[in-house]
Structure formats: C-alpha cells, structure tokens
Structure 1
Amino acid sequence: MRVLFHVQHLLGVGHLRRAELLVAAMADRGMAVTVALGGMPVAEMPFAGADIAQLPPVRLDGANFKILYDGEDNPVTDAWRDARRDALLAVYERLQPDIVLMEMFPFGRWRFRFELEPLLARAALDRPRVKCVASVRDILVETKHPERAARGAELARDHLDAVLVHSDPALFTFDETYPHAASLADRIHYTGYVTEAGDRRKGVPTGDVIVSAGGGAAAGSLLATAMAARPQTPLADRVWRFFTGPRCPEDVFRDLRSHADERTIVERFDPQFQARLDGCALSISQAGYNTVMNLLRAEVPAVVVPYAEGDETEQEYRARRMEALGLLSVVSETALTPDALTAAIGTALAGSARPRPAMDLEGAAHAARMIEALAQGALAAAPAADARSPEGRKSA
C-alpha cells in the first residue's frame, strides 16, 4: 500500500513531529510512505521509515505569517507556486499512491491550496478513485475568514473519504473549533492523541527540571524567564535542563549557554525528550500539541506558557481546558514574569498527586489502522454522533 503524505511546517516543528509519529505507525503496518515535505529540512526529524520527496521549501520570517519566503530567502511568486504545484503533481504521478494524506488541509494550510486543490482534483481522476484523507489536530486556530472554513467543508465533502481528528472526544470534539463539523460527521474519525507509544521503555526518575520551547523559533522569553525564576522556586537546587529547540535563534542560544554549569544544561534538542520528561520533577514549556501530549504520557507536574503571537489561539484553548482538569498550570504569555512563573510552579507541584482522567494516547497506531482499513474498503462511515461524543468514537 502506497501513501503520499503532504507535510508542511512553517514556524514550529510540532506538525513535523506528529507527522513523524504517524509515518512510523504506518511503516509498522507495512505501508510504503512517501512524505512530500514542503518546509525547510529539520535534521532532527528525518522521517525514518519513509521516502522524502523534498518540494521547493518555504518558510516564514519570524512569526510573520503574511509573507512566505522560498529557499533563497525571496518572497514567493506566482511562478514559484506554479513550479511547486507541478513538483507535487510529479511526485503523485511517479508514486501512483493508494492513499493521499494531507496534514491539516482543507481545515488549515489554506495558503497552500494552490497545490493541494490540484492534488485532490488529480486524485479524483483515477479509477478506482484514490482515497483522500485529512490529518487534523484536536483544535483549529480561530479564523478571521469564515468563508475559508465554509470552502474547506465543501472541499472535504467533495474529495475526502475520511477526516482523522487526532483527539480524544472526551477532551475536545472537532465541532468546538470547526463550525461545519456536523456536515462532515460521516467522515470524522477520532484517533486518540498522537504521541510516543505507550509500550516504549519509560525514562528513569532523575528529579530534573525540564524547560523546553518546542521548535524554538519563539523561545527566548520563556527560557529566559525560567532561568530568572529558578532561584526562587522550591526546585532551585535540582539539575535544570533547557531544550531550546532546533530553530532557536543563535543569539538566544548563546546567551542561555553563557549561564550553563554542571547543574544548568542547555541543549537544542534531545532525541530522548519523552524519556527526559518521564523522569523529571517538573516541566516548564510552551503548550503545543506534541509537548502537551508528551506531558500527558509522562504524568508529571507541568507549567505551560501558551504561544499567542500572530493571532494564535490553539495553545491557549488547549491549555485552559487541561488546567481545568487539573493536568497542568498555565501562565499567559502576556503575564509571564519570574514571579508569575514561580507561583504557577508552586501550584503545579501542589496538585501533582490528584487523580488524572483517562485519555486515549494511542492515536498514531489507531490512525494507521484506519488508513489501512480505508484503503481496503473496510473503514465504515462514522455515525453522526462520532463528530461530537465519546460514544460515537467507540464504533468508528
């Protein structure tokens, strides 16, 4: 079974990590996966188990989402878009996939419709028709363009065979942040959350404090504030490990490294990050999908600072729901000070003994099984309740 997986990252690397876990799960089931990678390569995330078809890469300048830049730091042009569309379609022709899997589209990644709508149109021409699937995280960013959400639903009804929502509906349902979910109810399948496999070897207890900032492109304030707060926290004498992320600006990384000593470790990345969290006394981090799922898997006290620049709403929405469930403590980015962070650390440590609600964290394996079933014509249409309730998920 051949899967063409379109993956596009721009600012952070969370989308890449979730896609990497999905690829690994599909490879475990014997699928041949080709990743059409649209962002700059990230060496720390090589997509082992897949073939990489590198499209002409595109990036942002900081958190400015208004202008896309090509691999030579020039604003993208219509000619560039045409060339990249043709490159993606050429991958399709070479691969002749059984499944086209798209990360977020048509519920996000709207700026890449210039290549993804033609990809969907091309897949519709084959007989038997190639199955098309969207891979969507639990929460969508609040849009200022409701017409795009409506058009996305239209595209989904016309072209998608399944919408895999990487959430447990006991926590978040798709209709909470997508207004047209009801019209797609028969295609929505909840996979559970995508994170590290539950049967892996857990990290040994270390009592360290882990401070991380996802991909690191917007890491500076959080990391510097944690460094400043450390002396006034109950864990000041522990080993503190700062993971800046592979895309942390060099000047920010150098400044943090200048404070390093035998109990203050500053690194960009650790391939065993989940194991580090498993054994830690406390985590301080942003609140992206992957990091929060790592925290739920580790079941450790945690403080999160949701990223909120560029009209981002997703991290704050997720973090507040989980705070209400007693899973972590939240400090808003606009309120981030050493004192505020210290207070949140105290709250997180005090609440760490409370029982945790059960949550499905095996989303990668479930998604791979659903994709295989779809290709074989064995994935039943989701009942209408599946778009909004745990009961519906049980029969998906």
Structure 2
Amino acid sequence: MEKVPLMGRRVFFYVQHLLGIGHLARASRIAKALVERGLEVTMVMGGTAVPGFPGEGVKTIALPAVTSGDKGFSGLVDGEGNPVTRAFEERRKGLLIEALRATDPDIVIIEAFPFGRRQMRFELLPLLDAIAAMERRPLVATSLRDILQERTKPGRAEETVELVKSHFDLVLVHGDPAFARLEETFLLAGEVEDRVVYTGLVAPPPPAEPAERYDIVVSAGGGAVGKELIGAALEAARLVPATLRWCLVTGPNLPEADFDAFAAAAGDGVGLFRFRKDFASLLAGARLSVSQAGYNTVCDILRAGCASLLVPFTAGGETEQETRAARLEKLGLAGVLPEEGITPALLAGKIEAMLARPKPAMPPLDLEGAAGTARVLEERLLSTERVRPSRSA
C-alpha cells in the first residue's frame, strides 16, 4: 500500500478545560508535536482563553466558553458565570459540528471523552454522529491522562466501553505502563484493549539552565484552585530559616484580589508570580517543589529531577491526584501532605523534613509522550487508505 504524505493532512483536536489548565497544556504539547510532523492542527477550545495556549503553528477555534460552576464539577456556567441554558448548548453544538465540516479532518482527537467530560455530552454525542456520517470517515482517537477519576456511577463504565467500540479507533493513554496502567483506574479497560496505546508521559522538553535559583518553588497549577496552598506557603516561609529563597507561582486564574493580598503579605526572600515561562528551569534549579499532584506539574517535576512535596487536590471527591501522589511517594520520588487540614506549621515542618532528605533518583519513565502520540497517529494514518470508509463499510 502506498504511503500517504503527512504534509497537508488535517487534525481536528477538541479540548474542553473546565477548572484548571492541565488538559489544555497537555493537549498543546501534543499539538506542537503533531505540527512538527507536518500535520495541520486545528484545536477547538471550549474553555476560557489562556494566554500562550495552544501555541504557535496551531489553528484555533474558540467556542463560547464554559467552565465548572464549582470545584466539584457539579455544573456548567458560561463565561459570565451564568448557568448554561439549552439554547446555549444548541448554539455550541452547531458551531462545533460546523467547525468539523469546515476542517474536513483526517484525524479527530477528543480529549478525555468518553472516559471523562461527560458534562459535554450535549455536543460530543452529536459530534460523534456527525463524524460517523462523513463520506470520508477520519481516524478517531480519545486522548487520556494515565490515571482516571475512579468515582463513577453504576453503568457509566459500560457506557464508556460501548462508545469506544462504536466510535473510536484509538485510546491514547498518555503515560508509561510501568508507572500506571489504564485498567488500574478503569476496570473494564480489557474490553477495549485492542484500541489502547501508551504514548509515554507528555512532559516538556529538558529545561534550560535556570536564570535564577530558588530553594523552594511553590506552584498552584492554573490557580483556579490552590489558593489555600499559596496562603499556607506564605506563612510557612516565616517559620523556616530566613536564608531560604522562595518562588510562589499562583497560576493565571487566581482572582486578582487574592493575588494582591498575597503580594502585600509576601516577606523578604519570597518572590510571588502569576506565571513563569521558565517554570521548568526553575524546578531544575530548586531544592524542593511544593505543588498539587496534577498530571502536568508532575511531568515538569519528573523532567527536572526535582525533589517534591505534593498536596493533592481532593475536593468534590476527586481521586486522580491522590492516586498519583501515593504512587510517587511509594517510589520515593515525593512526600505527600493531605490538602484537608493543611496549616502553615504542618507545611513548614514537612518542607524542612523534605529538605533534609537526599535528592531522589529518577526512574527511567518514558517522558516523550508528545512525540510518542504524534508517532502513533502518523503510523496509523499512513497504514490506511486515502478514502476513509465508515465503520459499517
């Protein structure tokens, strides 16, 4: 079979971030790797705009934004904070399907769904139906982090399996199976194992030499959650030796009033920032990272080879970060402090204990998941005919 050149082949990448920016950051790294392979990538984003994402070379389509109404992901609100209406849903659905048809993609990637993002069923189920009806059906993949949320209602796992079997060619698991396997947090993974491919962890490239060095780097991801961690760290800085240099990165989504209050409270030796483009290099030069246990932050830490203290996000019954933190602690790569009941004194004590430990030896985990994803999609695309039949053909 004659191979099809990648130049000019099109990717339609749906990403919906609701609370933090982790999903968007991971997808942006993957999109960059796809562009570097010669593919034309259109990213359809359904959340609020985040400066710098998805990055150069990626076409973007912004749907009317929706976000999570609270930390427990219990409801959707629009960009003004109003509950999403049926009319709003219909408008988004129409715009999404219109974007699909205008792109006429060779590959469709849907981030998280159907394993997550069930709140977006109102537009994603019609999207899948529209894909199935296309004359030239694209390759369809779901893009997953390595550890899933384990809290599920009866019947949801079975429904997920049925959707995968009906609509998806690939389940791209962005992880190293030596660290976490899909079946450990999705018990029915065996029923779709013929579609599962592990790409490696989607980590950033090796960081540059840090332009400045801090002993402790505290970060709160996107900043939509993590306010308590930043506040506790500001107070903890007063309880440890004053010679330690601190860098606190609040994230771009921390409310302005909270950032201003933290800035007023920051003492000598404490730098407070919303965002640092050189975050990865700061970690490489730090003695300790203090953060939540989100996928992207952990990838940054592993790439930098930095000691870490993790405070996993558990609000609303979330289990993913707690699971990831426990695995890293078991490997000797991190200390863990529960989010609930954190105090400046507890945090200061744990930080001093972590600083006294030797630097961890990093295991040989696959951190090249962006390139791995591009390679998998390229190989699958080049193994198919130019005319893409429907699944029923």
TM-score, length-scaled by structure 1: 0.91
CA distance in 2, matches of 1:304, 1:352: 17
Name the residue aligned to 2:140.
Answer: 132
CA distance in 1, matches of 2:337, 2:127: 41
Name the residue aligned to 2:161.
Answer: 153
Q: 3-state DSSP class of the match of 2:144?
A: strand
CA distance in 2, matches of 1:39, 1:33: 18
Aligned-partner residue type, residue 65 of structure 1? F
Aligned-partner residue type, residue 167 of structure 2? H
Maintained 8 Å contact 1:326/1:351: no
CA distance in 2, matches of 1:300, 1:96: 43
Maintained 8 Å contact 1:2/1:33: yes
Q: 3-state DSSP class of the match of 1:226?
A: helix
Q: Which among 222, 225, 231 is matched to residue 218 of structure 1?
A: 225
Name the residue aligned to 2:325.
Answer: 319
Superposition map of 1:164-313 within 5 A: 164-198=172-206, 201-203=208-210, 206-233=213-240, 236-260=242-266, 263-313=269-319
Aligned-partner residue type, residue 356 of structure 2? A
Superposition map of 1:320-339 within 5 A: 320-339=326-345
Maintained 8 Å contact 1:329/1:345: no
Structure 1: state its 5+ residue gaps: 379-396
Structure 2: state its 5+ residue gaps: 1-8, 385-393
* Superposition deviation, residue 355 in structure 1: 2.7
* Superposition deviation, residue 204 in structure 1: 5.4
Name the residue aligned to 1:101.
Answer: 109
Name the residue aligned to 2:351.
Answer: 345
Maintained 8 Å contact 1:131/1:375: yes
List per-residue Cα deviations over 1:292-347 (Å, max 9, x = no partner).
Answer: 11111111111110011111111001001100101010000114122322232234
Aligned-partner residue type, residue 209 of structure 1? I
Aligned-partner residue type, residue 210 of structure 1? V
Select between 307-316 and 254-263 the one with higher mean Cα deviation: 254-263
Select between 178-187 and 43-52 the one with higher mean Cα deviation: 43-52
Aligned-partner residue type, residue 382 of structure 2? Q
Describe the shift of the 1:347–1:171 C-alpha distance in structure 2 as closer, same or farther (beyond 3 A).
farther
Name the residue aligned to 1:394.
Answer: none
Maintained 8 Å contact 2:21/2:221: yes
Aligned-partner residue type, residue 196 of structure 2? I
Maintained 8 Å contact 1:26/1:33: yes
List per-residue Cα deviations over 1:147-194 (Å, max 9, x = no partner).
Answer: 222111100011111111011010100001112100011110001100
* Superposition deviation, residue 280 in structure 1: 1.1
Q: 3-state DSSP class of the match of 2:375?
A: helix
Describe the shift of the 1:261–1:82 C-alpha distance in structure 2 as closer, same or farther (beyond 3 A).
same
Maintained 8 Å contact 1:120/1:132: no
Name the residue aligned to 2:38.
Answer: 30
CA distance in 1, matches of 2:177, 2:154: 24
CA distance in 1, matches of 2:360, 2:268: 33
Aligned-partner residue type, residue 163 of structure 1? V
Describe the shift of the 1:256–1:225 C-alpha distance in structure 2 as closer, same or farther (beyond 3 A).
same
* Superposition deviation, residue 249 in structure 1: 1.7
Aligned-partner residue type, residue 358 of structure 1? P
* Superposition deviation, residue 46 in structure 1: 4.2
Describe the shift of the 1:46–1:137 C-alpha distance in structure 2 as closer, same or farther (beyond 3 A).
closer
Aligned-partner residue type, residue 67 of structure 1? G
CA distance in 2, matches of 1:346, 1:356: 21
Maintained 8 Å contact 1:303/1:345: yes
CA distance in 2, matches of 1:22, 1:11: 20
CA distance in 2, matches of 1:220, 1:353: 28
TM-score, length-scaled by structure 2: 0.92
Q: 3-state DSSP class of the match of 1:221?
A: helix
Are 2:138 and 1:121 aligned? no
Maintained 8 Å contact 1:241/1:266: yes
Select between 274-283 and 131-140 the one with higher mean Cα deviation: 274-283
* Superposition deviation, residue 7 in structure 1: 0.4
Q: 3-state DSSP class of the match of 1:231?
A: coil
Maintained 8 Å contact 1:192/1:360: yes
Q: 3-state DSSP class of the match of 2:252?
A: coil
List per-residue Cα deviations over 1:101-150 (Å, max 9, x = no partner).
Answer: 01100100011111111111221223442110000001111223132221
